[in-house]
Amino acid sequence: MTGPANSLEVRDVSAGYGGSDIITSVTLAAAQGRITTIAGPNGAGKSTLMKTLAGLLRPRLGQI
């Protein structure tokens, strides 16, 4: 059986500000019709990941 198609696939994405990477080698898939969450402590890079997924930050490496 095959599951629902992924509406979002992220492979090995790195992104950050200025000279430093904040997120490195992020790989995830979010399936259509499912709720996907990201969790982590303050400053872990959750907002940076969301900005990258939204196109506000350009990934330095990887594919979305």
Residue 55 touches which of Mg ion, ligand ADP, none (CB < 5 to 8 A by kind)? none
What is the three-class DSSP state of 50?
helix
| Stretch 4-43: interaction string toward ligand ADP, x if CB under 6 A | -------------x----x-----------------x-xx
Q: Which of 26, 45, 53, 59 binds ligand ADP (CB under 6 A)?
A: 45
In the bound state with ligand ADP, the residue whose beta carbon lies nearer, of 6 and 16, is 16
Residue 12's contacts (CB-CB under 8 Å, 6 or more residues apart) are 25, 26, 27, 61, 62, 63
